[in-house]
């Protein structure tokens, strides 16, 4: 692993987290801001990562998606308590391709696929019974075949321009390694804890 390759370092840390975290090692806080600059944060699941960036999926009519369309930048935070580590990622976003979205959608369990059709994510819901009825309608609609990816469901890639690796140390003397994109490469430095 090159000292100046934050993607390789992330892959190494992520592999350790997958082995040690009891639940959802791929959970990350996603922070967005709307057109007026009002921030919002929520937990989402990382569904892919490589040198192009970090991928998650959502309903394109959800609050997070409308924020990203209005202000196409995001921040991610992984916190792996069992390892006493964090990774902070910041950068612009891009939409994934339809082919990538279709390929990932086929890996989801059927119930999750049906839920993507049934949910008006982030919109007001009058009762749980309404959502459950919509879900049952989708089960009937797609009873005889595969469930296609809804047109309102896709993914985003955070293309990092900053990645910080934080390691807990005794007496709050933490270690913070910061990678900043410079052209086609990265510069690496340290931050005070």
Round the CA-based radius of gyration of the chain to a whole number and report it: 19
**CA–CA dist 88, 77 (Å, integer):** 5
Annotated catalytic residue within 149, 172, 176, 177: 172
Determine whether 2 is exposed, middle or buried from the number of CB atoms within 10 Å of its CB (0-12, 13-18, 19+).
Answer: exposed
Q: Is 172 noted as a catalytic residue in this protein?
A: yes
Q: Which two tokens stand for residue 125?
A: 């819901």
The residue assigned the tokens 């997958």 is: 18
187 — phi, psi (to 5°)? -105, 150
User: Mind telling me the catalytic residues?
Assistant: 172
């Amino acid at each position: 692993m090159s000292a100046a390759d934050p993607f390789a370092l992330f892959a190494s840390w992520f592999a350790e987290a997958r082995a040690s975290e009891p639940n959802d090692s791929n959970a990350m806080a996603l922070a967005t801001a709307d057109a007026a600059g009002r921030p919002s944060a929520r937990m989402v699941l990382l569904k892919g990562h490589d040198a192009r960036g970090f991928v998650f999926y959502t309903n394109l009519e959800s609050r997070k998606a409308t924020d990203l369309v209005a202000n196409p930048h995001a921040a991610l935070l992984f916190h792996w308590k069992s390892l006493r580590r964090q990774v902070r990622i910041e950068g612009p976003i891009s939409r994934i391709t339809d082919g990538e979205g279709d390929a990932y959608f086929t890996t989801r369990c059927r119930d999750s696929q049906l839920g993507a059709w049934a949910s008006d994510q982030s919109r007001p819901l009058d009762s749980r019974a309404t959502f459950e009825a919509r879900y049952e309608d989708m089960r009937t609609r797609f009873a005889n075949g595969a469930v296609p990816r809804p047109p309102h469901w896709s993914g985003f890639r955070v293309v990092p321009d900053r990645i910080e690796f934080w390691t807990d140390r005794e007496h709050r003397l933490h270690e913070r390694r910061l990678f900043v994109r410079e052209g086609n490469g990265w510069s690496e430095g340290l931050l005070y804890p």
